[in-house]
Amino acid sequence: MGAGHGGPLGAAYVAGGSVVHRLEPHLKLVAVLAFALVVVATPVHAGWAPAAYAGYAALVLGAAAVARVPAGRLARGLVVEVPFLAFALLLPVVSRGPRVEVLGLSLSESGLAAGGGLLAKATLSVLAATVLAATTEPRELVRGLQRLRLPALLVQILSFMVRYADVVGGELRRMRVARESRGFRGRGPGALRVVATGAGALFVRSYERGERVHLAMLSRGYTGALPAGPAAAVPAQAWLVTLSLPLTAAAVLAAGMLLG
Amino acid sequence: MHVPDGFLDAPTSVATGVVAAGTVALALQRARRELDERTAPLAGLTAAFVFAVQMVNFPVGAGTSGHLVGGALTAVLVGPWTAVLCMTVVLVVQAVLFADGGLTALGTNVTLLGLVAVGVGYGVFRLLLALLPRTRGGLLAAAGAGAFVSVPVAALVFVGLFAVGGVADVPLSAVAAAMGGIHVLIGIGEAVITVAVLAAVVSVRPDLVHGAAHLRRPSDLATRPGLRAEESLR
């Protein structure tokens, strides 16, 4: 029970005290979104596109270095891309248009550019989002979304989910340990029934926990809104520091468009 | 598997973003009607459940494993509007904390997995519920069919979006056939898991299942025999 923050959500955060860790969460969210927009806006078929991607990569890896995010953490962040890696590799084979010979394979020129562009853009955005998740606690991210005017009810649902994901995940883990210590081996259709019954029990437990949480909140005077203190004003300098990442990326994009 | 940044062009991303924002706004209103001020804790805990279950890999056989999307299952368990909110919250957490699904593609992902998967799954479920016998078996069959249909339909809607706003020039029929074929298989897994989980919940706590309201019998503690309702009021 006292496992602390070892759950799935806590695993995304790398504790630290760097400049990047201390930035305001809502500004970091804006910065990562703006960076992704700049990356996405880069034209795929331009000749200077690879140079621009290299520039963006240098920027985001620089931010990761300042934040002291370990390389292994960045690599693990990239794992989510794997299904799209397959899609991007397929594009040059199935795309139409003029073909080129590469290592004896006839590949589509536009497909190569499109597949490569997709892969580069997805990788850069994933890297930026990984740096964000590694330097910001889940609770702080929810607070950031709140300051960005996400609807209050959605923020409440989100904060409950973040608060209890590790509790629910922990129950699931204990169920698995209990199953396996009784000799369960997950194979075949019979195993599905066992695992699904566990998942059903998990739903009942989660829902009942939600009811208990609600009653506990009512007894503490909950009326449908959570009290929040006034948000501190953010100095212009903080904006400038946080947005330096997307602004520099935008400068790289503009340079490519003007010179390329 | 979520759409990353840069997969669809700007107009398509913006359009799906507007659709997603409208859906979520409507769902926020309707879910409050389904759950009143209990919405936040119950939807939050249900979202945590969906998130946890998505991380379980069920053995499917032949050395492969799959995990649940959960759109249809959540809709049957807690109602469609709450389900839209749960799926949206799970997608936001996956995008912000795990970089799974791009931030600029969040609208697209909410449209596909929140709106389409939940809407189609629940629509098919309600339709079959009206046609099939009003029994436990009918309920499970309807939910399984809804779960099965929701996955390939969401995949085909994605192919449609790719046709409108994709960044590569690929033969669409081939992409549609490949995506449809793969997702029919995934849909079978989704249906089996949905039915198994739902069967477990219905046999323990049928009162918690939103879609099983018609199976609930009135309490056996009725009025005294021989005493009619009007008389008991006097």
Condensed to tens digits (0 to 9), the pLDDT of residues B115-142 reads: 999 999 999 999 999 998 888 899 999 9
Provide the pLDDT for residue A2: 39
Q: Give the mean model confidence (pLDDT) for residues A146-160.
A: 88
pLDDT surpasses 80 at B11 = yes
Chain B CB contacts of A193 under 8 Å are 196
Of B28, B51, B169, the CB nearest to A110: B169
pLDDT of residue A6 exceeding 60: no
Q: What is the pLDDT of residues A17-45, one digit of tens each?
A: 888 888 889 999 999 999 999 998 888 87
The number of distinct structural domains making up chain B is 1
Q: Is residue B16 part of a domain?
A: yes
Q: Do B93 and A165 touch (CB under 8 A)?
A: yes
What does DSSP say about strands B58-61 and A99-102: parallel, antiparallel, or unpaired?
A: unpaired
The pLDDT tens digits of the residues spanning A184-223 come to: 887 667 777 888 888 889 989 888 888 888 889 889 888 7
Percent of chain B with pLDDT over 70: 85
CB contact under 8 A, B170 and A95: yes
Neighbours of A34 (CB within 10 A): 20
The residue behind tokens 């799906």 is B16
pLDDT of residue A104: 65
pLDDT one-digit tens code per residue, B64-106: 555 678 889 999 998 899 999 999 999 999 888 888 888 888 9
Q: Taking Cα atoms as reference points, which of B5, A95, A244, A250 lies closest to residue A258?
A: A250
CA closest to A156 among chain B residues: B40
User: What whole-number distance in Å separates Cα of residue B42 and Cα of residue B37?
Assistant: 10
Q: What pLDDT was estimated at residue A34?
A: 93
Of B77, B99, B192, the CB nearest to A80: B99
* A·B CB contacts under 8 A: 244
Residue-level pLDDT at B229: 53
For residue B101, what pLDDT is reported? 81
- What's the burial of B215, exposed, middle or buried (CB within 10 Å: 0-12/13-18/19+)? middle
A192 and B196 within 8 Å at the Cβ level: the answer is: yes
The answer on pLDDT for A58 being more than 90 is yes
Q: Which of A15-29, B57-71, B108-122, B208-222 has the highest mean pLDDT?
A: B108-122
Q: What is the CATH number of the domain that holds B112?
A: 1.10.1760.20
In which domain, by residue range, is B158 found? Answer: 10-214
Question: Is the pLDDT score of B221 beyond 50?
Answer: yes
Please say if the pLDDT value at position A165 is more than 50: yes
Residue B50 lies in a domain: yes
Partner A, chain B 50-109, Cβ-Cβ below 8 Å? 51-53, 55-56, 58-59, 61, 77-78, 85-86, 88-90, 92-93, 95-100, 102-104
pLDDT of residue B87: 93
Task: Tell me whether residues B59 and A151 touch, CB distance under 8 A.
Answer: no
pLDDT band at A3 (very low <50, low <70, confident <90, very high): very low
What pTM was estimated for this model as a whole? 0.87
A46 touches chain B (CB under 8 A): no
- Would the pLDDT of B40 be above 70? yes
Look at residue A91 in the predicted model and tell me its pLDDT.
Answer: 74
Judge: B44–A40 Cβ closer than 8 Å, yes or no.
no
How are beta strands B64-66 and B58-61 bridged, if at all?
antiparallel
pLDDT at B57: 65
Give the model's pLDDT for residue B63: 47
Q: Measured between CB atoms, does B42 come within 8 Å of chain A?
A: yes
Judge: B48–A167 Cβ closer than 8 Å, yes or no: yes
Q: Does B44 touch chain A (CB under 8 A)?
A: yes
Q: Examine residue B116 and state whether it is found in any structural domain, yes or no.
A: yes
Contact A210 B38 (CB under 8 A): yes
The DSSP symbol for A12 reads G
Q: Which of B52, B58, B96 sits opposite A165 (nearest CB)?
A: B52
In a domain, B144, yes or no: yes
pLDDT of residue A62: 92
**Average per-residue pLDDT for chain B:** 83
Would you say how long chain A is, in residues? 260
The residue among A151, A158, A145 whose CA lies nearest residue A9 is A158
* CA B114 – CA B17 distance, rounded (Å): 12
Tokens of A191: 């195993």
- pLDDT value at B10 more than 50: yes
What is the rounded CA–CA span in Å between residue A19 and residue A98? Answer: 49
- Report chain A residues whose CB lies below 8 A from the CB of B61: 188-189
Bigger pLDDT: B170 or A254? A254
Give the nearest chain A residue to B14 (CA atoms).
Answer: A37
| CA dist., res. A143 & res. B43, Å (int) | 19
In a domain, B142, yes or no: yes
Q: Using one digit for the tens of pLDDT, what is the confidence trace for A71-105?
A: 888 888 888 777 777 777 777 777 766 777 676 67
Is there a contact between A96 and B169 if contact means CB atoms under 8 Å apart? yes
Average pLDDT of span B160-171:
78
Is B197 among the domain residues? Answer: yes
**Predicted local confidence at residue A207, as pLDDT:** 86
Calpha distance B214→B135 (Å, rounded) = 9
Query: Which amino acid, residue B145?
Result: A
Mean pLDDT, range A124-142, rounded to an integer: 90
Look at B107 and B207; give whichever has higher pLDDT.
Answer: B107
Q: Is residue B17 part of a domain?
A: yes
Residue the block writes with tokens 């008389």: B231
State which H helix or E strand residue A6 sits in.
Answer: none
Reported as a single tens digit per residue, the pLDDT across A176-194 is 899 889 988 876 677 778 8
DSSP per-residue codes, chain B = ----TTSB-HHHHHHHHHHHHHHHHHHHHHHHHHHGGGHHHHHHHHHHHHHHHHTPPEEEETTEEE----HHHHHHHH-HHHHHHHHHHHHHHHHHHH--S-STTHHHHIIIIIIIHHHHHHHHHHHHHHHS-SSHHHHHHHHHHHHHHHHHHHHHHHHHHHHHHBSS---HHHHHHHHHHHHHHHHHHHHHHHHHHHHHHHHH-GGG-GGGGGGPPPPS--PPTT--HHHHH-
Q: Which residues of A touch B49 (CB under 8 A)?
A: 168, 202-203, 206-207
A93 touching chain B per CB within 8 A: no
In a domain, B3, yes or no: no
Instruction: Indicate yes or no: CB of B6 within 8 angstroms of CB of A195.
Output: no
- pLDDT of the residue at B220: 62
Q: What is the pLDDT of residue A35?
A: 93
Burial environment of residue B73 by CB neighbours within 10 A (0 to 12, 13 to 18, 19 or more): buried
Percentage, residues of chain B above pLDDT 90: 36
Looking at the complex, report in whole angstroms how far the Cα of residue A178 sits from the nearest Cα belonging to chain B. Answer: 15
